Structure 1
Amino acid sequence: MDDATSLLTAVDRLADRLRSLPQSRLSRGVAAEGLALARELSVRAQRIDEPGSSPRIMPDAGMFAVADQVAVAGHDLAHALERAPRGAGAGGAEGDEALASAVALVEATARRCDL
C-alpha cells in the first residue's frame, strides 16, 4: 500500500463539512454518525499498528469535536496503511482493499448524513 490520498481526501472533505454544520444538524444524529466513523477508523489503524492488542475506543469529546476526531482518525489510518509492510495485514493487495474499504466507509457516512 503506497498512497492513501483517496482516504485523506475523503476524510478531509467530510471533516470540513462537519465543521460547517450548525448545532441543530449535529445534534440530530450527524455528530453520532461522525463519532462512530472516527471510532471505526481509529480501531482499524490500531489493528495495523498494534496487531494482537485490544484497540482503545476513541472517547466522545462532544459534538463540536467530532470533525476533528474524524480527521485525526482518518489521517492515523492513512499513515498506518502507508507504512504497513507488505504481508503484515495491510501491505500490498490487502492494503489496497483496506484503503478502498475505508474510503467507502467515509463516503457512506457522508451519504447517510446528507453531506
Structure 2
Amino acid sequence: MVDTTPLTQAVDHFADRLRAAPQSRLQRSAAAEALALARELSGWAQRKESPGAEPREMPDAGMFAVADQILVAAHDLAVVLDSDDQVAEAVRLVEEARQRAGV
C-alpha cells in the first residue's frame, strides 16, 4: 500500500489557506486555481478507476466551495494511487496550484 500522507497533508494545507483567504483573493485567482486543481485531480482519479471511460468534469460550485472540492478530489485520488511517484506528482500539482493561487 502506498503512503498518501504527503498528498493529504498538502491538500489539507491548501484547503485551510483557501478557507482563510479573503473574498477578494478568492475572486482574483485563488478560487479558479483551486477549481482547476480539483478538476485535474478528479479526472486523474476517474481515469485510474475507469480506464477508457470519459471522466466527468467537476462542476463549479462557487468560490466558497473550492476548498471542499479539492479535498474531495484529492482524497478520491489518494485511494487509487499505486506508487510513490504518483503521490509525488500529485503533491507537486497541489503545491504548484497553491503557489499560483497566492495563498
Deviation track 1:61-87 (CA, whole Å, cap 9, x = no partner) reads 000000000111011101121xxxxxx
**Number of residue equivalences:** 103
Question: Do residues 66 (structure 1) and 54 (structure 2) align?
Answer: no
Q: Show the 5 A alignment for 1:1-115.
A: 1-81=1-81, 91=82, 95-115=83-103
Q: Please say if residues 15 and 71 of structure 2, whose CA atoms lie closer than 8 Å, have aligned partners that are also in contact.
A: yes
Output the amino acid matched with 1:42: S
Structure 1's consecutive aligned runs of 4 or more residues displaced over 2 angstroms after TM superposition are none
Identity, in percent, stands at 61
Cα distance between partner residues in 1 of 2:80 and 2:28: 32
Structure 1 residue matching 2:57: 3-state secondary structure: coil
What is the TM-score when the length of structure 1 is the normalising length? Answer: 0.85
> Aligned-pair distance for 1:52?
1.1
Whole-angstrom CA distance in 2 between matches of 1:98 and 1:51 = 16
- Listed as ranges, the gaps of 5+ residues in structure 2 are none
SS at match of 1:62: coil
In the alignment, is the contact (CA less than 8 A) between 2:6 and 2:91 conserved in 1?
Answer: yes
What's the TM-score once normalised by structure 2's chain length? 0.94
Structure with bigger gyration radius:
1
Partner SS state of residue 53, structure 2? coil
Alignment partners' CA distance in 2, 1:50 and 1:15: 27
Counterpart-to-counterpart distance in 2, 1:61 and 1:27: 14
- 3-state secondary structure, aligned to 1:61: coil
Deviations 1:8-46 (A, max 9, x none): 000111011101111111000110000000000000111
